[in-house]
Structure 1
Amino acid sequence: GLSIPTLGEPWQVQKIYFNQDLSAKKWITIHEKMLEAGLESPFADHLEDFKKRDNQRHNWLSTRIDCSEFFTARDRALLSHATQIDPEGGFFSASRKAARTYWPTEEFELALDLTGREPLNRDLDFQETDLFACVTFDDGRRVPDEGMLPASPAADDLD
């Protein structure tokens, strides 16, 4: 492999995740919650496809992270890319707004875990709520549970 000694010793990341934002479980739940709230759901025509995909899925929703306090900042950042994401398109639709209320999390699949802990049970979803669970610094100290930075208070003023 490539070795550049001036960059320091090689290292290995301890965890790698795949984003699973398009999980069937998420969008079926949002569909049902929208109907319960008397809202029209854009997912009615897609339910069978969602269910089929859910039954055949090969991905695993190992991790659920509460991101509700970051959604405003995320949406504002995406709006600055109007040439790539239509501000009037589906991403900013009523269903996406409903997702903020009914499913305020982001889901991930733990693809690589080199933390040394016992493997998670792949038959169970949502076993983690912290992307840094069991990650350690080079000296062996665990990354603190409160290692996440809070969202900027100014971001809340953007709604």
Structure 2
Amino acid sequence: MAIQDSQRRLLLVHAHPDDETIGTGATMARYAAEGAHVTLVTCTRGEQGEILVPELAHLAPEQEDGLGEHRVKELAVAMAELGVSDYRFLGGPGRYRDSGMVWGEEGRRAETPDSVRPDSFWAADLREASDHLVEVIREVRPQVMITYDENGGYGHPDHIQAHRVATYALNLAGVPSYRQELGVAWKVPKLYWTAMPRSVIQQSIDALKDTPDNPFGTVQSADDFGFVVDDADVTAVVDGTEWVDRKMAAMRAHRTQIDVEGGFFALSDQVGQSIWSTEHYRLAHGLPGPVDPETGIESDLFSGL
């Protein structure tokens, strides 16, 4: 079946392999299972990621520099778990390199390194990078796009750049006179930003505060993190309870980056299911569809289309 034959088409723009699963994996699995065409565009191969598997330490940038190729394979396994067959790298695999990041003084927000490689995503020409995405948008013709907010969620330069590229490309793709060789113009009806509500992080802090491997350390309040948003800013909530097992399997596929068995992800079954199966969004472009009369929140990203 051709992409355009799908009545619902979803396009996600993420920075590195694993970002898609952590933040939007349940959403992807749900819509793929419901018959929507789900397209993932990943902007880098994640070459600068921290390696959690000791036997793969040789893949680090300062050694063999093979982590990017390995994470491409991890992504393929994760997408199979989520039921997504259309996944691509912006401009092709390796076109833009992971820019890396450093933690701020308190270790709660990412910052851009003092210097980045010229082939890094952060150093990319915005117009050139956006044109790669314009071509995808015009091919897929999504009704819904998902990416990060202007802060990239937690400040990672590649997340911020992904936001810029997605925003720029969304607007350029809808201009009929712009680069007609990239395809027929398409105006995306709705754009959502991923969101982490304050209450969800506070729930996590409270659930893990007495555990021996508490990843939050001495942090007691969600307000200490720069990536949380007010609950009132959340405009859509996707319930992926039925697909949370697929999401967790996809997270396990990203084994160099995620320890699903420990720390932040090892919540109690009841709390963990609530946190990892429910994904939150802010409508950044377009009009909301019908909402829950009690909460005023959309439960379907395609609502109103």
TM-score above 0.5, yes or no = yes
Does the CA contact (< 8 Å) of 2:192 and 2:284 recur in 1? yes
Matched, 1:4 2:181: yes
Q: Name the counterpart of 2:199.
A: 25
Q: Which of 98, 119, 122 in structure 1 is aligned with 2:271?
A: 98
Matches within 5 A, 1:3-152: 3-4=180-181, 7=183, 9-20=184-195, 22-32=196-206, 34=207, 40=210, 42=214, 45-48=218-221, 50-51=222-223, 57=229, 60-94=233-267, 98-101=271-274, 104-114=277-287, 127-135=297-305
Residue identity over aligned pairs, in percent, reads 25
Distance 2:280 2:287 in 1: 20
Q: CA deviation at 1:107?
A: 0.7
Residue-pair matches, total: 121
Which residue identity lines up with residue 186 of structure 2 in the other structure? W
Which residue identity lines up with residue 185 of structure 2 in the other structure? P
Which residue identity lines up with residue 129 of structure 1 in the other structure? S
CA-atom RMSD, angstroms? 3.8
Distance 1:79 1:91 in 2: 14
Does the CA contact (< 8 Å) of 1:31 and 1:44 recur in 2? no
Which residue identity lines up with residue 133 of structure 1 in the other structure? S
Does the CA contact (< 8 Å) of 2:200 and 2:275 recur in 1? no
Q: Name the counterpart of 1:154.
A: none
Structure 1 gaps of 5+ residues are 136-159
Q: 1:31 to 1:85 in 2, by over 3 A?
A: closer
Structure 2 gaps of 5+ residues are 1-177
TM-score scaled by structure 2?
Answer: 0.32
Does the CA contact (< 8 Å) of 1:30 and 1:95 recur in 2? no
Q: 1:103 to 1:29 in 2, by over 3 A?
A: farther
Which residue identity lines up with residue 2 of structure 1 in the other structure? R
Q: Secondary structure at the match of 2:193?
A: strand
TM-score scaled by structure 1?
Answer: 0.57
